[in-house]
Amino acid sequence: MLPDPPVYPSAVKPILDPAPPAPSHGAMSDAPRKVLVIEDDPAIRRFLHVALESQSYQVIEARTAKEGLLKAGLDQADVIILDLGLPDMDGVDLTRQLRAWSSVPIVVVSARGKEQDKVVALDAGADDYLTKPFGVQELLARMRVAMRRRAGTGPGEQSIFRVANVTVDMAARRVLLDQKQVHLTPNEYRLLTTLIKHAGKVLTHAFLLKEIWGPSSAGETHYLRVYMNQLRQKLEVNATRPVFLLTEAGVGYRLEPDAGA
């Protein structure tokens, strides 16, 4: 958990102040979007409540996993912000219970910063994972991507996907860089389109290996390193400083859909 309440507000206030008004995202902005915050620390709940309400979100609070499950079923939130260290149940177990009946996006915000904690939460069904303390702008961006994906307006639902100076026509199976066709091997193409279908979401090594090479490839993370490096060499302007094919250290990879926007 973060420091005790007297210390926490002064530590996060500089992060909260610069947050600009929430941008418009079409149909999702027609009504206030609901955010369910499941967090037992009252100072962090207050911080999140103020930050999210300032961005025109309707905030619902839960202090325990039991209360969170009840409100998730009753209030039909557009996105859940979840702490892992709840008093009555670990947040990973709560994620699994939610995933048994709901596809609502889940963004974990936790003081647990170890790579294995992130992997376990993501494999349990979380859409994204932020380590405390976090910036409001990053949290809002991750939430928007998760909600677009759930609404069916995310990159994974489009036939043509564009990011930076790359265009992928999935119907024609063509990849263009600066309007010039780029040849990708079958595995490179499968890796790229898998990332596109889940754009904005952190995909663990285990998930990608299973999706591309099947269940027998578990643990063969060197496959991913090789093919990700090849993709970056072909599609990124600077392969050593990628802007959209991003590494989540020790966890997996994420395609940033808003790069170059």
One-character DSSP codes across 211-258: HHH-GGGTT-HHHHHHHHHHHHHHH-SSTTS-SSEEEETTTEEEE-TT
pLDDT greater than 80 at residue 23: no
Please enumerate in sequence order all residues whose Cβ is within 8 A of that of 100, keeping only pairs 6 or more positions apart, or say none: none
Would you state the pLDDT for residue 153? 46
Over residues 10-30, mean pLDDT: 39
Count of H-run helices and E-run strands, the chain: 9, 12
**How does pLDDT run across 144-165, given as a tens digit for each residue?**
888 877 665 445 456 789 999 9
pLDDT greater than 50 at residue 4: no
- pTM, entire model: 0.62
Choose among 4, 2, 15: nearest CA to 137.
15
Would you state the pLDDT for residue 217? 74
Q: 129 near 108, Cβ under 8 Å?
A: yes
pLDDT greater than 60 at residue 191: yes
Would you state the pLDDT for residue 233? 96
Would you state the pLDDT for residue 246? 95
Would you state the pLDDT for residue 29? 41
**How does pLDDT run across 81-116, given as a tens digit for each residue?**
999 999 999 999 999 999 888 888 999 999 888 888
Question: Hey, how many other C-beta atoms are within 10 angstroms of the C-beta on 144?
Answer: 20
Residue 155 DSSP label: G
Establish whether the linkage from the previous residue to 23 is cis, with ω within 30° of 0: no
Please enumerate in sequence order all residues whose Cβ is within 8 A of that of 193, keeping only pairs 6 or more positions apart, or say none: 168, 170
**pLDDT confidence bin for 12, thresholds 50/70/90:** very low
